[in-house]
């Protein structure tokens, strides 16, 4: 069987990370502590009563003693264990407080320059170029050329790859050290690839196989083939995002302007520790509506971060920047600039995000949707969705962390702070409710879901967008036409604002069934929704009928795709009632 080596270009980095390490307490340990608060017991008594091995009891007692919650005494029947006053003080807690040790650790990592995937160095052993060159003199070898990747060290990848489940990210030491070039060697035997970690992207595995097929029949030393892997698969064409099993509660559908206004008011009023608001624009009037409440939250100890993005309208960006400068001046005059932080930079994102803790529960929640929290008058029909499930919340905060990167993609202090908050959120206890399948959808990925709706809808397809423009036909209308004709479904498309003459170009000219495309003027439509049948809905910041996010800024738009029983029906019914109710009311007024 032929054997070919393929050299994969890597970037090797080393950074000092600060972290807390400590595994959570098990239910068994909690039960043992509860037993020892009633009376003293021996190891054997605990093992027999709990029907567990004696060794397990000893390990649990040692941990509890180290925590200061259990002590040993000499009794008449030998050594016994009993809970200390500190143990009595925590035993009734829902969960025992985790004891974590703060530490720091240098971590080596590598990033393959083909797909941009980050690995621990032990996952992808690396060697220097001279070593590869020496092997090329005696082995059949192909070099893969590196791609010019814009970004590869996303926050989610760093946290998921470099940290253990019992480790909490605290920070990263700033470093000017550049990453160095190294290579990994993959071995191809027939059609099998060896030497790559199991989580290596399928694209990398396939490119390694292709390179091996082009290898010369004998070692070529310095003349070994350097194969170009071609351009990276566009973000829009990559596999659909991995779904998270998350708790969803029907009351966390936020629909209509009034619900958004109430949600923002309650979030600011209740939060004790943290508030993050990302609004595309910030207007003076919009900020004035909540300024007093934000100042009160800051005075009671909450840390508040206000971030803003931008629109294609550069005039609006300049206006927002001027407004932000004015607001920052007023906050500094209040002496609250360390707590109420209105950041001066644009994230270049159209996303609308609200993150806050729940006051007494202290559980973080995150809301994503269409509402410009700090420039909306809350008169429009908006759509957002809220989650307090740790998997979804941490994923959203990781995206916020990436939005706070510096211009050269370096980690700022704010990036580390957001990464730390995401790490904390991942450890919080999930709420009670029904499980849903949830995917975080970024920029170009949105296009995949109109195609999924086209192919999988069996009864209806529903779209709302603030604006409609030239992007409407390829992105939504054509998939909807296909679904109507081939699957016989109902397709309804609504928009609030149209480019001049654009709606004249959307319909079919062949007399075939077509989607219903309608303007909605009352209530003013600002929601961005894609839904189909009864159980599938994507709520987002993207204008489905006018935006076409490019590959250069994948976080320009952020949404959540949710599969849950009845969720799409609830959204569509709410929209129909809101639209119909206003129409009836207007008719009554005219009469």
pLDDT string in tens for the chain (591-residue length): 689 999 999 999 999 999 988 877 888 999 999 999 999 999 999 999 888 999 999 999 998 998 899 999 887 778 899 999 999 999 998 888 877 889 999 999 999 999 999 999 999 999 999 999 999 999 999 999 999 876 556 888 888 899 988 888 999 987 767 889 999 999 999 999 999 999 999 999 999 999 999 999 999 999 999 999 999 888 888 887 789 999 999 999 999 999 999 999 999 999 999 999 999 999 999 999 999 999 999 999 999 999 999 755 555 667 788 899 999 999 999 899 999 999 999 999 999 999 999 877 789 999 999 999 999 889 999 999 999 999 999 999 999 999 998 766 788 899 999 999 999 998 888 888 899 999 999 999 999 999 999 999 999 999 999 999 988 999 999 999 999 999 999 999 999 988 766 665 555 556 677 899 999 988 899 999 999 999 999 999 999 999 888 888 899 999 999 999 999 999 999 999 998 744 333 333 333
pLDDT of residue 427: 83
The span from the CA of 503 to the CA of 469, in Å, is: 8
Nearest residue to 582 via CA among 532, 521, 539: 521
**Do residues 13 and 111 touch, judged by C-beta distance below 8 A?**
yes
The span from the CA of 265 to the CA of 257, in Å, is: 12
The span from the CA of 589 to the CA of 522, in Å, is: 14
pLDDT of residue 503: 60
pLDDT of residue 589: 32
The span from the CA of 70 to the CA of 87, in Å, is: 6
Strand 244-248 with 516-519, pairing:
unpaired
The span from the CA of 265 to the CA of 271, in Å, is: 10
pLDDT of residue 581: 47
The span from the CA of 142 to the CA of 212, in Å, is: 7
Q: Could you give the C-alpha distances from 91 to 29, 155, 308, 431, in angstroms and in order? A: 10, 36, 44, 22
Contacting residues for 577 by C-beta, under 8 A, at least 6 apart:
none
Q: Could you give the C-alpha distances from 158 to 408, 411, 473, 555, in angstroms and in order? A: 17, 11, 38, 17
Listed in sequence order, the DSSP H helices in 41-97 are: 43-50, 54-66, 85-90
Residue by residue, what is the 3-state secondary structure of 421-439? HHHHHHCCCCCCCEEEEEE
Domains and CATH numbers, the chain: 3-19+102-233 (no CATH), 27-90 (1.10.10.10), 257-379+390-429 (3.30.870), 439-590 (3.30.870.10)
pTM, two decimals, is 0.85
């Amino acid at each position: 069987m032929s054997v070919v080596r393929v050299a994969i270009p890597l970037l090797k980095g080393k950074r000092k990370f600060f972290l807390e390490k400590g595994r959570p307490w098990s239910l068994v340990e909690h039960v043992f502590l509860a037993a020892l608060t009633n009376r003293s017991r021996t190891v054997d008594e605990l093992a027999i009563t709990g029907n567990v091995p004696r060794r397990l009891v000893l390990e649990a007692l040692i941990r509890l003693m180290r925590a200061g919650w259990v002590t040993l005494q000499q009794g008449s029947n030998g050594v016994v264990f009993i809970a200390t006053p500190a143990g009595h003080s925590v035993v009734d807690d829902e969960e025992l407080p985790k004891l974590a040790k703060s530490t720091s650790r240098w971590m080596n990592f590598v990033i393959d320059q083909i797909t941009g995937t980050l690995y621990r160095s032990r996952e992808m052993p690396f060697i220097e170029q001279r070593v590869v060159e020496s092997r090329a003199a005696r082995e059949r070898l192909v070099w893969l050329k590196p791609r010019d990747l814009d970004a590869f060290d996303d926050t989610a990848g760093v946290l998921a790859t470099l940290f253990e489940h019992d480790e909490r990210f605290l920070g990263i030491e700033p470093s000017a050290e550049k990453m160095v070039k190294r290579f990994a060697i993959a071995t191809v035997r027939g059609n099998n690839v060896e030497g790559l970690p199991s989580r290596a992207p399928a694209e990398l595995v396939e490119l390694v196989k292709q390179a091996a097929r082009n290898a010369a029949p004998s070692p070529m030393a310095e003349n070994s083939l350097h194969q170009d892997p071609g351009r990276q698969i566009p973000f829009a064409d990559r596999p659909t995002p991995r779904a998270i099993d998350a708790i969803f509660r029907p009351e966390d559908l936020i629909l209509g302007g009034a619900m958004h206004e109430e949600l923002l008011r309650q979030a600011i009023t209740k939060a004790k520790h943290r508030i993050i608001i990302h609004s595309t624009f910030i207007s003076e009037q919009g900020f004035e509506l909540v300024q007093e409440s934000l100042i009160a939250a800051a005075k009671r100890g909450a840390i508040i971060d206000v971030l803003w993005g931008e629109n294609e309208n550069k005039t609006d960006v300049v206006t927002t920047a001027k407004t932000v400068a004015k607001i920052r001046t007023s906050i500094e005059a209040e002496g609250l600039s360390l707590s109420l932080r209105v950041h001066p930079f644009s994230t270049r994102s159209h996303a609308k995000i609200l993150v806050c803790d729940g006051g007494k529960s202290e559980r973080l929640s995150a809301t994503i949707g269409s509402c410009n929290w700090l420039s909306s008058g809350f008169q429009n029909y908006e759509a957002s969705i809220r989650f307090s499930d740790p998997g979804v919340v941490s994923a959203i905060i990781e995206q916020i962390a990436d939005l706070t990167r510096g211009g050269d993609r370096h980690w700022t202090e704010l990036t580390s702070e957001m990464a730390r908050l995401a790490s904390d959120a991942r450890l919080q206890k999930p709420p009670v409710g029904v499980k849903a399948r949830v995917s975080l959808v970024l920029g170009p990925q949105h296009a995949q879901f109109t195609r999924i709706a086209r192919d999988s809808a069996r009864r209806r397809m529903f779209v709302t967008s603030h604006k409609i423009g030239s992007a409407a036909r390829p992105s939504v209308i054509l998939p909807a036409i296909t679904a109507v004709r081939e699957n016989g479904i109902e397709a309804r498309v609504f928009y609030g604002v149209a480019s001049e003459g654009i709606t004249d170009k959307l319909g079919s000219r062949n007399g075939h069934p077509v989607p219903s495309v309608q303007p909605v003027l009352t209530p003013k439509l600002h929601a961005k929704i894609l839904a189909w049948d009864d159980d599938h809905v994507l709520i987002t910041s993207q204008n489905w009928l006018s935006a076409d996010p490019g590959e250069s800024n994948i976080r320009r738009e952020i949404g959540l795709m949710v599969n849950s029983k009845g969720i799409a029906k609830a959204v569509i019914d709410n929209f129909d009632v809101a639209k119909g109710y206003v129409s009836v009311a207007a008719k009554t007024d005219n009469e």
